[in-house]
Chains A and B, each alone.
Chain A
Amino acid sequence: MVAKRIIPCLDVKDGRTVKGIHFVGLRDMGDAVELGSRYAAEGADELVYLDISASAEGRKTFCGLVSRVAEQINIPFTVGGGISTIDDAARLLDAGADKISVNTAAISNPGLIDAIAGKYGSQFVVIAIDARVVDGRWMATTHGGRVATDRELFDWAREAQVRGAGELLFTSMDHDGTRDGYPCETYAALAESLSIPIIASGGAGCIQHIADVLTAGKADAALAASIFHSGEIPIPVLKQELRKQNIPVRL
């Protein structure tokens, strides 16, 4: 049986990791490769590196970082942030990324998913959707949650799957940073309506929240940042507890 995955997410600006609360008010958390190595050694199943640099210079630095991560880290990793063309994806693949995640650019240009998946395979493409509830419906947002769109979460997720996305990374902007847990019912409904794996992101405040989204929420993986970066929930402790609850994890 495939193990449920635990994925630390490292937000990177100019080669260093930072973590935002509701995506504002960033705090420096240190060297990105070193932190990733530490997580890999502790038993993280994958890593996500998210480039939040705004400048062209920052983007170049990020690509160099991806090469160093690929050299030094022995588990799969996904990179995201600002990927808007197939050339962006190609550069990151060449640098050694195992997967890329697309978000804002895929909403304005859904054909980007077809193009990248068609060329490099679905296993290379993660569709990231940030959504929040608006008038009772989950609506996708872009630009780190700042811009509303007219795309409904379930519709958009299904379309992305048909276009060739190999995984869905769904973040509830209503839960991200709150530490109150994930919207498990929404995750379970997504799992029912999609055939691709689902990564839950945003909202974990304790081990039980992660256990819940992997069971009641039917998610295949849980992604988190600050609870890992702060050392509050060490990955070995988390995984031992998940296994105690009969959740299949790699130890």
Chain B
Amino acid sequence: MIAIVDYDAGNIRSVLNALGRVGASDFVLTANRSQLRKASHVILPGVGEASCAMQALRDAGLSDFIPTLEQPVLGICVGAQLMCAGSEEGDTRCMGIFSAEVRRFRETRAEKVPHMGWNSLREPEAGANGFCSPLFAGLKQGEYVYFVHSYYPEVCADTIAISNHGIDFSAALGRDNFYACQFHPEKSGAAGERILKNFLAL
């Protein structure tokens, strides 16, 4: 059973649809701790403003609970940001699973904000051919995925994929059983579906 964290933070339909497409039919939308604890995998979606989303997570009584989970956990977009140390958006303290701070992109002629569209991923380990993280098994360096965001997690020791939009940032993070994608695997074509399958195979 896959649990999708239900804390009223945006559109989860596209995540559910993507799970359906990769053949994962056994999922539940829940904020119940024992259901979350028992799930084989936990997905933390999220859109909108970080401080509101973090408050919603606290209101659901989950902000201290999620970091204690032991099964594979995947944060997506704002869900990924909430797993970082803190965010410039609304001066928000986040869950601190990853050491990265979340910052706002600086707008230039070449780099529009929000960062919206397809951008490529690269492995942070110099010299690696493919990706070291099992989340990206089977994907090639330079694979494109779909982003929509104005704030980004900095590159840190937990970075498992880097993307660049005027500045290098963490497109994905991983530490122990925790994973996070700043991009939307549920909208990233075949590459995104492979990432979701990889996560569900963990």
Contacts and interface: CB of A to CB of B under 8 A. Distances in A.
B159 to A, nearest CB: 19
A45 interface: yes
A98 B187 contact: yes
A5 B112 CA distance: 15
Nearest to B47: A121
Give the interface size bracket for B toward A. Answer: 20 to 34
B118 interface: yes
Given A70-B17, A74-B21, A96-B17, A122 B11 contact: no
A123 B114 CA distance: 8
Chain A interface, DSSP helix/strand/loop, else mixed: loop
B11 A93 contact: yes
Given A75-B189, A93-B11, A96-B14, A3 B117 contact: yes
A75 B114 contact: no
A122 B187 CA distance: 18
Interface string A150-177: 0000000000000000110000000000
B79 interface: no
B192 A250 contact: no
A250 B191 CA distance: 11
A98 B13 CA distance: 11
A232 B1 CA distance: 46
A71 to B, nearest CB: 5
B18 A74 contact: yes
Interface string B51-78: 0000000000000000000000000000
- Give the interface size class of chain A: 20 to 34
A197 B118 contact: no
Nearest to B108: A195
Contacts of B119: 1-3
A74 B107 contact: no
Contacts of B147: 2
Contact of A74 (B47, B114, B164, B190): B190
Nearest to A74: B189
A167 to B, nearest CB: 8
A1 B115 CA distance: 10
Interface of B: 11, 13-14, 17-18, 20-21, 47-48, 107, 112-120, 144, 146-148, 164-165, 186-190, 192-193
22 contacts: A1-B119, A1-B120, A1-B164, A2-B115, A2-B116, A2-B147, A2-B165, A3-B144, A40-B189, A45-B117, A74-B190, A74-B193, A75-B187, A96-B14, A123-B114, A123-B148, A195-B112, A196-B112, A197-B112, A220-B112, A250-B120, A250-B144
Interface of A: 1-3, 5, 40-41, 45, 70-72, 74-76, 93-94, 96, 98, 121-123, 166-167, 195-197, 220-221, 250
